[in-house]
Chains A and B, each alone.
Chain A
Amino acid sequence: MRIRTSHIGLAAYLIFLILPLYWMINLSLQPNHEILGSFSLYPERYTFQNYITLVTDASWYGSYLNSITYVLLNMAISLTVALPAAYAFSRFSFLGDKHLFFWLLTNRMAPPAVFLLPFFQLYQNIGLYDTHLAVALAHALFNVPLAIWILEGFMRGIPKEIDETAYIDGYSFSRFFVTIFIPLIRGGIGVTAFFVFVFSWVELLLARTLTATNARPFSVTMTQTISATGIDWGLLAAAGVVTMIPGAVVIWFVRNNLARGLSLGRV
């Protein structure tokens, strides 16, 4: 009997999670006059017109590509600098290591709004304003600490004897790191890459402030659609749906490590 109530509870929760998403998909398959004209629980005469607009209108698919570009750029930067740093934290004790590790955390916790103004001025002064690189570097604020913390969690699980054996066998540090160590933690790198991707993908405030037209993110194109008069609800819903694609495509592969990534490698 108890089992049954918990099943009902779980089912109710999952329905609660899915309903708003279902509604977005439902609206995305209807033309705007039908959305406003008649209320229906499912698309009666469904159309893909909204999605066709997204892939044919340059301001939509262009900004989608902008988002993908800075997210991938951020992923490359974050992983490149985080891998050696995480290795250092997991293997060595050095002057100020604990303070440094804590300081990294404070950046992950900092509200992006605090950095808004200085970022805006800094990137304008060094000529990076409205470039993909500016957003990628700004997102390093939380993604580099995130990547270091998660990777450190994975690296601690690798026995130190592996390093020592490799050095005895005459491996240099860089050769050991690239040919032995990185393949050993590739699972962890995959999980880290996933979370770095997601947290850059979902961010709006910094991405919006640091761009104008050239590197305008998809989310900004969406928020501008809202402010315009006579909102095209169907198009907005379709745009929302396509932002779920990148996460939905890869989530299956990391499903067993989600807790580890979300807790900064501490679970």
Chain B
Amino acid sequence: MEKIQNQKAWFLVLPALAVLFIFSAVIPLMTVVNYSVQDIFGQDYANAFFVGTEWFRDTIRDPELQAAFGRQLAFSVITLLIQIPLGVAIALAMPTRGIMVSVALVLVSLPLLIPWNVVGTGWLLFTRPDIGLLGVALNELGLDYNIQRNPVDAWLTVLVMDVWHWTSLTVLLAYAGLRAIPGAYYQAARVDGASRWAIFRYVELPRMRGVLLIAILLRFMDSFKLYAEPFVLTGGGPGTTTTFLSQYLATIGVGQFDLGRAAAFSLVYFLFILALSWLFYTVITRMDRE
């Protein structure tokens, strides 16, 4: 649609900007920038002094933070490698006609509507070796499964929990992409005698490219913000095996009130997300133009 040039449109955007500017985004973010270049003792803001990039250098060299970043990246990549193909496969298996469509859609979206901490609680109840269905079952099978003690168990459980929680997003987006493919494409493929795999490879997958890109970017970014689910399920443990970036940041920020370090870390974290957002935006605007 051709848009009209009109500077007065700014007035329509203004209320939204005012809320975000004052309460949610700009002023709080500038506070972070401010803290990131100063050294503040206790809560004595008057005697803070400028330290330049010291906190940033500290942050980048902090081995604990590097470890958390590595864990986070590994987690995000692995969870995407599982969720995207699985989500597409489930979307392909979804019913296409009748009441079952609605039933399947509602069932699939259930995990997305549950508070994130309750996702953690649900999995805690599900995996405890004394009262959880999965925990008891695995132990009955002779496995020594215990997420409180065993780091590998904890890590895998957090991963499976994330797959449980978020694969539905890919399913719903891929399903919407599939439904948008005109029936004529399938008829043409059938006339050509295309195999099921060929239909998927040359008809369905190219037409799903857009929605899948959105799914990948959204999931990658949101998995980078992961907090409440592992916090409730494992508390970041055992040790720090399931402590991801947000939890680490919350610990040094609000937990230890280490302002400079938390602020510098916040900005590095935020810039990383910003770069990804830019990628997302570029993809979106290119799709809108097509």
Contact = CB atoms under 8 A, between A and B. Distances in A.
A, B assembled together: yes
A14 B94 CA distance: 11
B interface, how many residues as a size bin? 35 or more
Interface stretch (A43-51, A184-192, A247-255): A247-255
A233 interface: yes
Interface stretch (B52-60, B142-150, B181-189, B278-286): B278-286
Interface string B107-144: 11111111111100111111000111110100000000
Contacts of A98: 285
Nearest to A8: B93
Interface in A69-109: 77, 80-82, 84-85, 87-95, 97-98, 100-102, 104-107, 109
B159 interface: no
B228 A204 contact: yes
Given A114-B270, A266-B284, A267-B176, A23 B126 contact: yes
Given A109-B277, A243-B118, A247-B113, A80 B15 contact: yes
A92 B6 contact: yes
Contacts of A118: 27-29, 31-32
Interface in B255-270: 259, 262-263, 266-267, 269-270
Contact of B126 (A19, A110, A244, A248): A19
B221 interface: yes
Contact of B16 (A18, A27, A144, A251): A144
Given A203-B116, A223-B232, A107 B274 contact: no
Contacts of B12: 84-85, 87-88
A27 B125 CA distance: 8
Given A19-B133, A198-B113, A259 B173 contact: yes
Contact of A205 (B24, B228, B273): B228
A147 B118 CA distance: 24
Given A88-B9, A205-B227, A262-B169, A222 B254 contact: no
Contacts of B126: 19-20, 23-24
Interface of A: 2, 6-7, 9-10, 13-14, 16-21, 23-24, 27, 35-36, 39, 41, 77, 80-82, 84-85, 87-95, 97-98, 100-102, 104-107, 109-122, 137-138, 140-141, 144-145, 148, 156, 160, 198, 201-205, 209, 218-219, 222-223, 226, 233, 236-237, 239-240, 243-244, 246-248, 251-252, 255-256, 258-260, 262-264, 266-267
Interface of B: 1, 3-10, 12-13, 15-20, 23-25, 27-29, 31-32, 35, 86, 89-90, 92-94, 102, 104-118, 121-126, 130-134, 136, 164, 167-169, 172-173, 175-177, 196, 210-211, 214-215, 218, 221, 224-225, 227-228, 231-232, 245-247, 249-250, 253-254, 259, 262-263, 266-267, 269-270, 273-274, 276-278, 280-281, 284-285, 287-288
